[in-house]
């Protein structure tokens, strides 16, 4: 699991001006516009590719996107439509997991604002790969598999990412994990990238 973080709600509050209506629906059905709307940011996003639609459908059917939406709504996050079928849940403030960003199905939850995460293209691509991993693992089984892989990595390298097959596939650097080569002289404390809140301690993420 990632390292301990410190709460920085003051900075989160500073971004309140950017808040959009809280949303709780993946699909904007014709009868839901007023109460359940996920607004796209930065002028909208292009059409999905066949693979992106397949991932979106798979994670909807396997329940992980609904799980992500349930957490996003329960945690009163600021939900926005992201690119490539992703949903961004910004300003997540629950204490667990100790992470700057993490993914449940097609929902990427982050402690920064949704707009700040959308501007971090490499990290968003990294989280998108975890979203694909949920689809490949048929949904919820991804979570125990991920934590097994993270435990294996902890034993081998002293951090949950470097020897974690899921993090290696998603990209170690983008996820804030040190490459294997840098561990030749024994386990080291991982670099802490993740979603930083300006000027504060930066964080790694979980899936
Ligand atoms: Zn990751």
How far does the centroid of ligand 1 lie from the alpha carbon of residue 33, in Å?
33
How far does the centroid of ligand 1 lie from the alpha carbon of residue 122, in Å?
11
How far does the centroid of ligand 1 lie from the alpha carbon of residue 162, in Å?
10
Q: Which residue has the higher pLDDT, 5 or 177?
A: 177
Q: Which residue has the higher pLDDT, 99 or 195?
A: 99
Is the model's pLDDT at 88 over the cut of 90?
Answer: yes
Three-point CA angle 47, 128, 102, nearest 5°: 135
Q: Determine contact, residues 200/11, Cβ cutoff 8 Å.
A: yes
Q: Give the pLDDT score at 146.
A: 97
Rounded CA-CA distance 171/42 in Å is 25
Extract the tokens encoding 124: 């968003």
| Alpha-carbon separation of residue 204 from 24, 49, 62, 138, 140 (angstroms) | 27, 29, 27, 25, 22
Q: Give the pLDDT score at 200.
A: 43
Is the model's pLDDT at 188 over the cut of 80?
Answer: no
Is the model's pLDDT at 169 over the cut of 50?
Answer: yes
How far does the centroid of ligand 1 lie from the alpha carbon of residue 97, in Å?
13
How far does the centroid of ligand 1 lie from the alpha carbon of residue 127, in Å?
6
Backbone angles phi, psi at 138, to 5 degrees: 65, 30
How far does the centroid of ligand 1 lie from the alpha carbon of residue 42, in Å?
24
Rounded CA-CA distance 76/113 in Å is 13
How far does the centroid of ligand 1 lie from the alpha carbon of residue 205, in Å?
6
How far does the centroid of ligand 1 lie from the alpha carbon of residue 27, in Å?
26
How far does the centroid of ligand 1 lie from the alpha carbon of residue 126, in Å?
6
Q: Give the pLDDT score at 182.
A: 66
CA 189 to chain centre: 22
How far does the centroid of ligand 1 lie from the alpha carbon of residue 196, in Å?
15
How far does the centroid of ligand 1 lie from the alpha carbon of residue 167, in Å?
5
């Amino acid at each position: 699991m990632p390292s301990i973080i410190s709460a920085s709600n003051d900075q989160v509050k500073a971004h309140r001006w950017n808040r959009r209506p809280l949303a709780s629906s993946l699909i904007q059905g014709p009868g839901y516009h007023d109460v359940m709307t996920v607004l796209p940011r930065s002028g909208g996003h292009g059409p999905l590719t066949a693979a992106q639609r397949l991932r979106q459908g798979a994670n909807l059917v396997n329940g992980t996107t609904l799980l992500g939406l349930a957490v996003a709504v329960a945690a009163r996050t600021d939900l926005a439509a992201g690119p490539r079928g992703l949903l961004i849940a910004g300003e997540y403030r629950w204490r667990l997991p100790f992470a700057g960003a993490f993914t449940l199905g097609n929902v990427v939850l982050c402690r920064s604002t949704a707009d700040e995460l959308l501007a971090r293209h490499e990290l968003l691509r990294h989280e998108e790969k975890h979203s694909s991993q949920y689809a490949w693992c048929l949904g919820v089984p991804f979570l125990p598999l991920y934590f097994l892989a993270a435990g294996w990595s902890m034993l081998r390298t002293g951090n949950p990412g470097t020897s974690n097959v899921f993090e290696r596939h998603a990209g170690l650097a983008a996820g804030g994990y040190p490459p294997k080569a840098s561990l030749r002289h024994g386990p080291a404390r991982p670099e802490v990238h993740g979603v930083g809140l300006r000027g504060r301690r930066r964080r790694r993420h979980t899936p």
